[in-house]
Every structure is written in C-alpha cells, then in structure tokens.
Amino acid sequence: MIRCFVLAALVMALPAWALAAPIVVTFEGTIGGSIDGVDFSNQPFVLTATGDTEDVVPVGGLEFELRLDPNAVDISLPGLNGGTTLNVTTNTFLIVNNGNGYFGITDEFPVSYGVFLANNAFRDFDLASSIGPVSGTGQTGSAPSFETDGGVFRFAIGAPTITATATVIPEPASLALLGLGGLTLTRGRRSERLD
C-alpha cells in the first residue's frame, strides 16, 4: 500500500513539461520548386520538422496546429547539386484538419499550403501521437515561401505522391516513470511470494 502512495507522489511531483514529448514529422516524395528563383524539377525531397506536442493548439472544431520555431525544419534534396539541405529560418506550422483528413506544413496561418497530404488516416490525428507512414497524392503550392539558410525556397504547384510520418519520442522522465512503475510492481510481487 505504501508503494502505491510513493508511486502516486512521484507521478504528481513530475513537472508538467515531462508530459510533453518531441514529435518528428517527415514528408517525402519527388517535387519541383525553386531556390532563390532558380527552378528545379523531379527532385526527391525529405522535409523533416521537429516540434513539441505540448505546443499543439486546437483551431476551430476539427483542426490542430503546431507552430514550429525557426531552425526546426530541414528540407533535404539529395539529388540536387550533389545533395542540398536547407534549414528553414522562419516560423512554420504543421496543420491537421480532421474534417477533411489533410495534414501538412505551411509558412503561414491561415493556410497557404506548402506540402499537404489528404488521407482518411488523418481524421483522428491530433499532432500529439505517432502516425504513418501514410502515402498518397499530395499537394504542393508555390504561395508560401520558406526563408532558409540557402535562400528562399518555394514548392512548385503540383500533385506529387507524398509519404508522411509522425513519430512521438518519449521524454526520459516518462521512460523513467514507466521503469519505476514496473520495478515497483515487480518488487511488490516478490514481497508477496516471500510472505
């Protein structure tokens, strides 16, 4: 019984930030676009964004957004000029709309889309859990411009096949708490056997 109280006290003593976790999102496919006005086409890309699930904000009834800090997004174009990686230096947003089932990233809100993928799998996605990989016909748009360390990046308007994945990474405090709970239960069972 005392073990239960100790475990409950430890859970309540954890700071609120320990409940949040980083989320890493990737969008992959083949796109066209431009960097500082120089066009490219048919290039494989991987856009990687890292945010904090604690920063997810509901917008309206069926939409969630996650504002990403500068330098939280990289755009890798491995086939361009022997490999190019651009670090986005301005704020961006991850957006999911459960009603329409779309998920994407943009440079501004309300949405002027950068890369979006529509799929029914996103109808229950809340930007605070893992999902994917989910593939389908996406949308890219040139309206948003992403300021990067390599110049202004724009997607070309298109409908490429996109694969999106979101992975929540548990914080060490959460893992430690799970370990402590397992240890407490195991120790309790041993004590019962010895009695």
pLDDT tens, residue by residue, 89-148 = 988 999 999 999 999 998 875 556 689 999 999 999 999 999 999 999 999 986 778 999
pLDDT tens, residue by residue, 50-104 = 999 999 999 887 899 999 999 999 999 999 999 999 999 988 999 999 999 999 9
What does the buried/exposed string (b/e) look like for 51-69 if buried means 16 or more CB atoms within 10 Å of the residue's CB? bbbebbeeeeeebbbbebe
Cβ-contact 106, 112 below 8 angstroms = yes
Least Cα distance to 169 among 129, 141, 115 occurs for 129
**Cα distance between residue 139 and residue 111, in whole Å:** 13
Least Cα distance to 25 among 124, 106, 100 occurs for 106
Least Cα distance to 79 among 22, 30, 128 occurs for 30
3 state SS of 5: helix
- What's the pTM value of the predicted model, to 2 decimals? 0.78
Name, in order, each residue with C-beta under 8 angstroms of 181's C-beta and a sequence gap of 6 or more.
7
pLDDT tens, residue by residue, 165-193 = 999 998 665 555 555 555 555 555 555 55
Name, in order, each residue with C-beta under 8 angstroms of 112's C-beta and a sequence gap of 6 or more.
106, 141, 143, 144
Domain range list for the chain: 31-185
